[in-house]
């Protein structure tokens, strides 16, 4: 794969903002490394928040009460949704009870069917929504007559406005800048990816997992697929996942979606880094060979150890780099994110 086709987003080098004693110098720093994050804004990044356009079972506060409205067609919107539900979901919903053995499966099937409705064209009709007080976000987006992913986002907002007591309001953003770091908001499964595309590079950054579910780690995605304008992104934008700092992994390419489908991942060591403390991470990736290596040092500034290797020539792809909010309720922080494009070799500088 030729790396001459890289599109590099304009970057601004910035001084490191110190947080919780994290050091200002990384061993991998070089004259060729430039900053991907200025410590103040998310310029150069795109926030792709999955929950912004999709409904999950956790978004429904009281499923039994919500089901009752849909079954009774108690208002024009409930009647519309009931008519649009898939036949099997509609049948199961008619006899739904929280105590039924199949309650969880029914909730999942109904939400899946509702998401198809949200993705299948506008649900807005003036008469249908005449008694609904629309939020300012919904009114603004409605006026723009959105297409693609933004049209699905509008449908989600309209649904939330129609059922304010039943549905949790979804945030528009999954990532913010907090105390000089890029921080996930815990809003839901999603990614923050670069506006630039990269093929051969050395990526270094500091990270820590602040809080959240212990079985879902902070993650970085490489060899990702950039969504086209108005297109719904692939889950985890189809990338190769490196879980930082301890080396978990996943392959999100379409048709794979497994932890190690072709034995392409190698855990060099099995460290026990404290995920709540700052770690220094280095990833060297080369799309032309489909290889990537990761090293981690804790505390930052010390000698790193190689943690995880990846090799699959078919996976190599010039594309964005992403931070992944592995699931809702996770709070991760990243800072001092730097990239060296076309490094002279694929060695891990921080292990020396």
How many domains are contained in the chain?
Answer: 2
Whether 179 and 79 map to the same domain: the answer is no
Same domain, 232 and 336: yes
Judge if 78 and 221 occupy the same domain. Answer: no
Q: Which among 162, 183, 215 is the end of a domain?
A: 162
Q: Is the CB of residue 350 less than 8 Å from the CB of residue 204?
A: yes
Reported residue count of the chain is 352
Last residue of a domain, one of 162, 184, 204: 162
Please report whether residue 40 resides in a domain: yes
Say if residue 230 is in the same domain as residue 247.
yes
Q: Model-level pTM greater than 0.75? A: no
Residue 168 lies in a domain: no
Which of 234, 236, 197 is closest to 220 using CA atoms?
Answer: 236
228 and 122 inside one domain: no
Task: Please state, in angstroms and as integers, the Cα–Cα distance from residue 254 to each residue in 3, 47, 118, 152, 225, following that order.
Answer: 23, 21, 23, 22, 10
217 and 253 share a domain? yes
190 and 308 belong to one structural domain: yes
Same domain, 302 and 179: yes
Q: What is the pLDDT of residue 230?
A: 65
Considering the domain boundaries, does residue 298 fall inside one?
yes
Residue 10 has pLDDT above 90, yes or no: no
Categorize the per-residue pLDDT at 328 as very low, low, confident or very high, splitting at 50, 70 and 90.
confident
Q: Do residues 345 and 329 touch, judged by C-beta distance below 8 A? A: no
* Range 17-33 average pLDDT: 52
- We report the CATH number of the domain holding residue 222 as 2.60.120.560
Confidence at 267, pLDDT banded by 50, 70, 90: very high
What confidence score (pLDDT) does residue 273 get?
Answer: 97
Q: Cis bond leading into 245, ω under 30°?
A: yes
What is residue 349's predicted lDDT score, i.e. its pLDDT?
Answer: 97
Q: What pLDDT is stored for residue 31 in this prediction?
A: 59
- Point out the domain boundary residue: 107, 142, 162: 162
Residue range 57-75, pLDDT digits in tens: 878 999 999 999 999 999 9
Strand pairing partners for 209? 332
The confidence score (pLDDT) of residue 250 equals: 96
Answer for the pair 273, 191: CB distance below 8 angstroms, yes or no. Answer: no
* Residues 213 and 326 grouped into a single domain: yes
Quick check: 347 pLDDT over 70? yes
**167 found inside a domain:** no
pLDDT, the chain, mean: 88
Residues 13 and 132 in one domain: no
Domain-located, residue 114: yes
H or E stretch at 249: strand 249-251
For 135, the domain range is 57-162
* Confidence (pLDDT) at 188: 73
For 87-105, write each residue's pLDDT tens digit: 999 999 999 999 999 999 9
Question: Looking at residue 252, what is its pLDDT?
Answer: 96
pLDDT digits (tens, 9 = 90+) for 167-204: 988 776 789 999 999 999 887 778 999 999 999 999 99
- 214 with 336, same domain? yes
Instruction: Flag whether pLDDT at 84 surpasses 60.
Output: yes
> Are 92 and 241 part of one and the same domain?
no
pLDDT at 294: 98
Residue 52: per-residue pLDDT: 63
DSSP, residue by residue, 78-131:
HHHHHHHS-HHHHHHHHT--TTSTTHHHHHHHHHHHHHHHHHSS----TTTTTT
Is the Cβ–Cβ distance between 16 and 37 less than 8 Å? no
């Amino acid at each position: 794969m030729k790396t001459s086709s890289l599109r590099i987003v304009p970057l601004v080098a910035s001084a490191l903002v110190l947080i919780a004693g994290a050091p200002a110098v990384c061993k991998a720093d070089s004259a060729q490394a430039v900053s991907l994050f200025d410590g103040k804004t998310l310029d150069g990044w795109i926030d792709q928040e999955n929950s912004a356009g999709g409904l999950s079972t956790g978004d429904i506060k009281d499923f039994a009460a919500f089901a009752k409205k849909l079954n009774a067609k108690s208002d024009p919107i409930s009647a519309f949704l009931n008519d649009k539900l898939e036949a099997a979901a509609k049948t199961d919903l008619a006899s739904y009870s929280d105590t039924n053995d199949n309650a969880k499966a029914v909730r999942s099937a109904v939400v899946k069917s509702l998401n198809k409705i949200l993705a299948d064209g506008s649900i807005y009709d003036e008469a249908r929504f005449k008694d609904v007080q629309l939020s300012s976000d919904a009114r603004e987006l409605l006026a723009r007559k959105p297409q693609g992913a933004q049209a699905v986002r509008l449908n989600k907002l309209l649904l939330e406005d129609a059922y304010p007591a039943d549905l949790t309001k979804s945030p528009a953003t999954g990532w913010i800048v907090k105390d000089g770091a890029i921080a996930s908001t815990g809003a839901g499964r999603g990614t923050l990816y670069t506006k630039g595309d990269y093929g051969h590079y050395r990526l270094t950054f500091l990270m820590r997992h602040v809080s959240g579910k212990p079985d879902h780690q902070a993650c970085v995605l490489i060899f990702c697929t950039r969504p086209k304008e108005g297109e719904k992104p692939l889950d985890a934008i189809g990338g190769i996942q490196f879980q930082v700092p301890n080396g978990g992994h996943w392959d999100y390419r379409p048709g794979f979606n497994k932890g190690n489908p072709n034995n392409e991942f190698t855990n060099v060591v099995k460290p026990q880094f404290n995920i709540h403390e700052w770690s220094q991470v280095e990833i060297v990736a080369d799309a032309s060979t489909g290889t990537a290596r990761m090293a981690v040092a804790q505390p930052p500034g010390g000698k790193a150890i190689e943690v995880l290797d990846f090799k699959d020539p078919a996976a190599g792809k010039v594309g964005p780099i992403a931070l992944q909010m592995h699931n809702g309720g996770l709070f991760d922080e990243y800072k001092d994110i730097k990239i060296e494009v076309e490094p002279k070799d694929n060695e891990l500088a921080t292990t020396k």
